[in-house]
Structure 1
Amino acid sequence: MATKDEEVDVLLTGFEVFGRHTINPSWEIVKTLNDMPLHGLKVRAHLLPVDYAGVDESYPKILAQYPNLKLIINCGVGSAGSLQLEQIARNGPYTRLDNSNSAPATELCRAEDDPSFVRKTTLPLEDLVADLTRAAPDLQLKTSTDAGLFLCEYTFYNSLRAQRCPAVFFHVPPYGSPYSESVLRLHAFNVLSRLVRHIASASPKALRPKVGLAVLVTSKAYPGCVIVGRRKSAHSDGNPTGKGSWALPGGHLEFGESFEACAAREVAEECGLNDLTRVRHVATVNSIDKTSNYHYVVPFVAAETSGEPVAMEKDKCDAWEWRRWSDLPQPLFAPLAQLKATAFDPFASSSSNGIGNGLQDDKHDTNSTQPA
């Protein structure tokens, strides 16, 4: 039986008072929605301190408390005028002093990330704003790319970095600037409700498989080896599947893109290798984990290089390594584990099930449902 925390789908946060504000409408609004069912999803509200160290201590514990979140909405009070949905969060610089008269010594939200790193929400905010303002012409709502470089943006960065699920930051103006308390509460509720409805509509029945692509990069300098790296992050759509597992270079197939072009692009972006030769499709797996709403069709492409891989996206993978196919590190990313569990061998002879050190183009397909 699921616990009450496991049943929570949507996390709402608001902030305590700070500066010249004697009331923080962000918390006054979100606390009224605590434990309320919205569009079939259960909502839980939490109050956050206007304190960098306090957020560092409390927010990870809050996130860990709810293992099955589908949406995070962080709320805060902004400038007078319109309501704003923030599209991005920056790693810094955070120099504005908090309620404890402190700021991060590094001026960064996460010192291990690049100082200029910017994280983006995956929610279609422009479309949602258009829908809301069309339905309520008196609603002053817009998207923004400047969340203020204070506790609001600091918290939002942490939400996006966690990659637990889609996340967004919602700024409301102070009461009376321009909306009365009752009108602001109504407008804010409509915005929050619309965000939740967007997530609720993405039920498993509405989900569709996605197409990923993985590249078996080999080299004559490393017989029997392929390039693998340990994933630091989950999927860009917020699905946590695969974090901490070992995977091949790869990514999503773009519209109109061939397997070969996708393989070359992904290996260049992730490994800094631009010399791939003998690039060809050799296998496909159908990887499914219904408990995580994860379903990817993954073509495997073989290619050769004479170069050395370099980790180009440190937020996704610390390092790429040459590892023997017969002794790959564990755990493996689900599609790779699924392929490895079959008879497929990229270094088998031409008469066997494999690519024969790049000398055979026979394809090996497997269709299986297995947990990630």
Structure 2
Amino acid sequence: MKHKILLTGFEPFGGEKVNPSWEAVKQLNGMEIEDVVFIAEQIPTVFKKSIKVLEELIERYQPELVIAVGQAGGRLHITPERVAVNLDDARIPDNEGNQPIDEPVSPEGPAAYWTGLPVKRMVEAMKEHNIPASVSHTAGTFVCNHIFYGLMDYISRTSSGIRGGFIHIPFLPEQTIDKEAPSLSLETITEGIKLAALTAVKHEQDIRVIGGITH
């Protein structure tokens, strides 16, 4: 029996020509490794619509694991996120001009959700392959956190057996030509996401080690 992993990446936003999250996950689309198959889809960088699209994708593919991936320009590492907060507070408009300020993602939802992924174990797997990685304790308050919270809320509301979470990634090198910011190659980011996802499929329980950054 195949284990299906649904990976999502965002469309470009904030004036960028590419979004490394989509560039990376689409490299894995259709890849099969032993009993695991990867499915990659792009979702809009738009509040509310992104959650609707994600829920439709989950219903279509019925995956065992869902990992949403997003860009966090300025970060040094690939950072699996530990907690999603029930807050939209956008410093810039999304791709349809929405800019919610101090609004809940879900008025009926809890203040936060923990990830369903073994984030510390995923980080260790990446570091063992010389990929810069660390656990993050905040996914921000833009569409990345929005989709992370929406994913976990969907799982909670539907009592679904799937597990889900979110990974932030740095810029690609070509995005930093006119700015001073760290970056990782597309090859490194793609390999990191693959290792993290395979680790999450194999292990439901996390390891107890020191680690985590609040950005």
Q: TM-score, normalised by structure 1?
A: 0.47
Task: State the match for 2:171 in structure 1.
Answer: 174
Q: Tell me by how many angstroms 1:151 deviates.
A: 0.7
Question: Identity of counterpart residues, as a percentage?
Answer: 25
Q: CA deviation at 1:62?
A: 1.2
SS of 1:153's equivalent? helix
TM-fit CA distance, 1:104: 4.5
The answer (yes or no) to whether the contact 2:117–2:200 under 8 Å persists in 1 is: no
Distance in 2 (alpha carbons) for counterparts of 1:130 and 1:102: 37
Report the CA distance between 1:156 and its aligned residue: 0.7
Distance 1:11 1:74 in 2: 8
Alignment pair present for 1:161 and 2:153: yes
Check the 8 A contact 1:95/1:107 in 2, yes or no. no
Q: State the Cα distance separating 1:106 from its structure 2 match.
A: 7.2
Q: Which runs of 4+ in 1 moved over 4 A?
A: none
Q: CA deviation at 1:41?
A: 1.3
Which residue in the other structure is 1:27 paired with?
Answer: 22
- Measure, in 2, the Cα distance between the counterparts of 1:30 and 1:89: 21
Name the CA shift for 1:71/1:57 in 2 (closer, same or farther; >3 Å): closer
CA contact (8 A) 1:39 1:200 kept: no
Deviation at 1:199, TM superposition (A): 4.0
Deviations 1:245-282 (A, max 9, x none): xxxxxxxxxxxxxxxxxxxxxxxxxxxxxxxxxxxxxx
Q: Which has the larger radius of gyration?
A: 1
Shift of 1:85: 1.0
Counterpart in 1 of 2:106? 110
Conserved 8 A contact 1:84-1:141 = yes
SS of the aligned residue for 2:38 comes to strand
> How far apart are residue 29 of structure 1 and its match?
0.9
Aligned equivalents of 2:71, 2:101: Cα separation in 1: 25
Q: Distance in 2 between matches of 1:149 and 1:106?
A: 9
Structure 2 portions without partners, runs of 5+ = 174-180, 206-215
Q: 1:134 to 1:155 in 2, by over 3 A?
A: same
1:299-320 alpha-carbon deviations (Å, 9 max, x no partner):
xxxxxxxxxxxxxxxxxxxxxx
Question: Which residue in the other structure is 1:79 paired with?
Answer: 73
Contact (CA 8 Å) 1:91, 1:118: kept in 2 or not?
A: yes
SS of equivalent to 2:59: helix
- Ranked by relative contact order (alpha carbons within 8 Å, sequence separation 6 or more), the top structure is 2
Q: Tell me if the contact between 2:8 and 2:69 (Cα under 8 Å) persists in the aligned partners.
A: yes
Tell me the amino acid that sits aligned with residue 173 of structure 1.
Answer: P
Aligned residue for 1:17, secondary structure, equals coil
Q: Is the 8 A contact 2:88 2:142 kept in 1?
A: no
Which one-letter code corresponds to 1:167 in the other structure?
A: G
8 Å CA contact retained: 2:3, 2:35: no
1:201 pairs with 2:202: yes
In the alignment, is the contact (CA less than 8 A) between 2:81 and 2:165 conserved in 1? Answer: yes
3-state SS of 2:134 partner: strand
Identify the match of residue 53 of structure 1 among 39, 48, 52.
Answer: 48
* Secondary structure at 2:135 match in 1: strand
Q: Indicate the residue corresponding to 1:133 in structure 2.
A: 127
Partner AA of 2:15 in structure 1: R
RMSD over aligned CA atoms reads 2.4
The runs of 5 or more residues in structure 1 that have no matched partner are 208-236, 238-372
- Tell me how far 1:9 sits from its aligned partner: 0.8
TM-score by length of 2: 0.78
Name the CA distance, whole Å, in 1 between partners of 2:22 and 2:84: 21
Corresponding residue for 1:190?
Answer: 191
Q: CA deviation at 1:83?
A: 1.8
Change (3 A) 1:39 1:153: farther
AA partner of residue 87 (structure 2): G
Q: CA deviation at 1:26?
A: 0.8
1:268-347 equivalences under 5 Å are: none
Q: Please identify which structure carries the higher helix content.
A: 2
